[in-house]
Structure formats: structure tokens, C-alpha cells
Structure 1
């Protein structure tokens, strides 16, 4: 008896290609990416065009000033991360996806890889464009800077890395909770609001711990100059990677235990 081997077996490359196709054919992708880019670029140009050397902001880091809009753009990218996973459960597409890829975990890793590569490339390109455009207006001020200045290029890339890891953290929350509203509430409440609430506690240990929370760590990565009382860029990156790894490990474990 001759055994016929199907040429359409499941491979990592095919799962990646499938997730890439799904990401770019969803309207929600464009409705989150476009506002993220517009917010970062628009706020950067606004900050640059309205800045004056005698305005009292000379001590603000140049990269932080020009990329101030990334705080809002990052929320849009977090929503995208949640929709990539939780959105499939709300539409029922997840059942078809896991039927096609019974191993399940390759789907999660492919989603993370596709989203991570997309967000990092998008953010880095947007950051470079925003910085260079804002510098056209800042050229004659005390915030004038160039890509070759100490820490500038690293901060632009660090900001992109921070936003990428935060979007992957959101992806993990979406995959674990399987609910768009639930994951969005968990991200806003746990990642954005909770550190501000905990920061009101009058304990030194709390202040130290808060420096390694996701958004605080991402802020360190996006600064060209060391922030006072903040961890090093390496420590902040490690903390953010560990937060993201934990957020992805939970749905990976649940995928092994749940029926769908």
C-alpha cells in the first residue's frame, strides 16, 4: 500500500503566514494602527512647533518631548494586541483556527511574533519620522538634537521596544481572558491605573517596586538621558520582558487545559 503524504502539513512558516494574513485583512488593524501613528506624529509636530526656549521645559528630555504622543498611541497598539487574540473568540474564529492547528501553542507564538515584528517596525519608523520632523521646528531652541547625539537613537529604539512589549502584554491578556472588554479593562486598570493608585502609599518599598512596573519601565527605555531615581535601561528592559513573558505564559498554560 502506498502512503500519500499531504503537501499541506502544518509548519511554523505556514502558521506565521496565516497569522500575518489575518492581521492585515482585519479592519481593526487599520483602525488602531492609523490613529497610533497620527497621534505620535501629530503630537510630536505640535510639541515642536509650539516649543519656546523660555517656556521652562528645557530640562525635559528631547526624545520624551517629541514622542509625548506615544503614551496615547501605545493605548491604540494595546487595543490591537487584545483584538488579535480576544477578537477571535468574540467572532468564533478561534475554533476554526485551533481546528486547523490542533497544537494551539504555535498559534499563540505566531500571533506574538507577527504582532511584535509589526509594532516594532511601525513604532521605530514613526519615531524616527516624528523626531526628525519635530527637530525642524526645534532647530533654533535648547531642545535641538540630532540622531547621532548620545542616547537619542537608543531612546527612539527603546521607545519602540517598550511599546512593542506592552502590546504583547496586552495580547497575552486577551488570550487569557478571551474577552475584548475584559482584557481592555484589565490592561487599563492593571497596567495603567493600578501603579498610580499604589504610588499613593507612603512606603519606600512601594516606590522602588513601581519603578519596574510595565509603563514605568517603558518610560525609562524611551528617555535619552537617565531619569532620576529610575532603574538602568537594561534593568527596565529586563523587567518589561519578564512582565510580557508572564502575560504570555498564562494563556499558553490555559491553552493546554481548555477545550477550545
Structure 2
């Protein structure tokens, strides 16, 4: 009995030893397939890019048409301040934040809502590796997406404004910073959405929380008081506004945001989201 009972155990041990487990590149491939397997992902990416470009293009067309009626005072300030505002409007920024944040959140929340996360973690018990693969894939995709959207928006709007001689080129001081900030806003917000999704694990609650903090909270804060300005400047949308602004629009504010501080905000939010997601999937049950 003893030799017979030990043979299956030895065989199973040999099989487990021969199985190298999932490699990280396999996890990356899996997450890539998951992201693009849903038609809603492609639709969300496409619709978000079209809406953002349309909003910014509409602003440029409006200024192009109204240019003959503008006073000399407005014309003197138009380049570069208003030229850049047409390229990256607040409305388009909010659409980009909502679209990318929602996609990022659904990459995690979607698996929890369908129960697929159990199968994923059963196949790959190393939960943090799975989350790291999700973050890596979403970061890469959103970086490309943000670059395409920001570059297209800038090119379209400045081509329109160039018809009046008020367009900007990439070589103009501060333009590359603004384009880079707009491009990086996509991965920043997507990773923040993933962090909320890993922590909350409920689709509606995650999206409401994300929208409330990243989109609505800035409207409730003012830069006229130290405590509220500190919170305001620590939000991604406010950091984006500072990075894309040309000239010195915050010179009259008692507690203005800084460019270096805004870049730190860009780095801190996705880093915090990654830490929260790693801790949440490791410590909490499915």
C-alpha cells in the first residue's frame, strides 16, 4: 500500500515541478487580450478621441470666426494664452478624464462583477503579478492613446487658428509641456480609476467616486485660501490646468500652483493607485 500511495504523489510533484507557471509576459498578453476582447473598449477609445477633438476644434473655429470682432486688447493676449486654451479646453479635459478613468476602472471592476477574477487568481495565485500586468498594459495603451489625442487636438486647432495668423508651433515656449501634460493625463486618470476599482470593486460606486473626486471636487475648492488651494493643486485636473496654461495666468492668485508641483501630482496619483491596488487584491477576499 505504501509504494502504491506514494507513486501518485511523486508524479503530481513532478508535474508541478515541470510546470514553470505563468510568466509575466504571458500575463501581459492575457491582459492585452482582455482589454481588446470587448467591443465597448474600442468604442470608448474612439468616441472619447472624437469628442475631445471636436470640442477643441469647435473652440478654435469659434475664435477664427469671431476674430474680426475682437478688440485690440483681446488680440494682444490671444497668442499664446487663448491659442493654447483652444487646443486644450476644460470641457475636453473633463471628457478625457471621465473616459480614460472609466476604462481604467472597468479593467478591474469588470472582472469582479462577472466573477472572472476568481478564475484569473485561480490560474495565477500571484495576485500582485496580475495587477502589475494590468497596470503595465493600461499604462502603455493609454500613453499611446493620450499622445495621439493630444497631438491631433493640437494640430487641428492650430491649423485652424493659423488661418488668422494666431496659431502656435511645437517650438513655441511652453507648447511641448502642454502637449505632454495633456498626453499624460490619459494614463494618469486611467491608473487612478484602476486604483479606485481595486479598492471599491463595485462599478457604479467606483465611477461615482472617481467622478466626484477628479471632476467635481475642483469646482468646490478655491485657490484664495491656503488649505483649499493645497487640496485643489493636489488634484490631477488642477495640475493639468497649470501645466497647459501659457503666460502667467496665476500671478494674481495668493497661493498659485507651480509647474514642478504639478508634475509631482502627476506622478503621485498613479503611484498611490498602484500601491492601493496591490494592497487591496492581496489582503481582501474575492
TM-score by length of 2: 0.82
Bigger radius of gyration among the two? 2
**Contact 1:226-1:232 at 8 Å conserved across structures:** no
For the aligned residue pairs, the C-alpha RMSD in angstroms reads: 2.3
Q: Pick one of 227, 251, 266 that aligns with 1:240.
A: 266
Which residue is equivalent to 1:197? 220
In structure 2, C-alpha distance between the alignment counterparts of 1:152 and 1:24, rounded to whole Å: 33
The 5 A counterparts of 1:80-159 are: 80-141=103-164, 143-159=166-182
Q: TM-score, normalised by structure 1?
A: 0.89
Instruction: Name the CA shift for 1:208/1:251 in 2 (closer, same or farther; >3 Å).
Output: closer
Give the deviation of 1:8 after TM superposition. 5.9
Q: Does 1:212 align with 2:234?
A: yes
The answer on whether the counterparts of 1:23 and 1:84 sit within 8 Å (CA) in structure 2 is yes
Gaps of 5+ in 2: 1-9
Q: CA contact under 8 A between 1:176 and 1:250: conserved in structure 2?
A: yes
Distance 1:226 1:29 in 2: 39
Cα deviations by residue, 1:159-202 (Å, 9 ceiling, x for unpaired): 111232111101110111111101101111122222322439x7
Cα distance, 1:6 vs structure 2? 4.3
- Residue 126 of structure 1 and its aligned partner are, at CA, apart by 1.8
Mapped to 1, the partners of 2:103 and 2:231 lie a distance apart of: 28
Q: 1:182 aligns with which of 177, 185, 205?
A: 205
* Matched position secondary structure for 1:58: helix
More helix as a share of residues: 2
Does structure 2 conserve the Cα–Cα contact (< 8 Å) formed by 1:39 and 1:70? no
* Counterparts of 1:206 and 1:119, CA distance in 2: 30
CA distance in 2, matches of 1:242, 1:224: 24
Q: Which moved more, 1:176-185 or 1:186-195?
A: 186-195
Contact 1:199–1:206 (CA under 8 A) maintained in structure 2 = yes
- For residue 243 of structure 1, report the CA deviation from its aligned partner: 2.3
SS at match of 1:126: helix
Deviations 1:99-119 (A, max 9, x none): 111010111111111111111
Give 1:221 deviation, angstroms.
2.9
Distance 2:27 2:227 in 1: 44
The alignment partner of 2:145 has SS state of helix
Deviations 1:50-107 (A, max 9, x none): 2133444727343332122232122111110111111111111111111111010111
Q: CA deviation at 1:245?
A: 1.9
Q: Distance in 1 between matches of 2:177 and 2:18?
A: 47
Distance in 2 of aligned mates of 1:137 and 1:128: 14
Aligned to 2:186: 163
**Mean CA deviation greater in 71-80 or 45-54:** 45-54
Partners of 2:166 and 2:186 in 1: CA distance? 24
Q: Which runs of 5+ in 1 are unaligned?
A: none
How many residues are matched?
A: 259
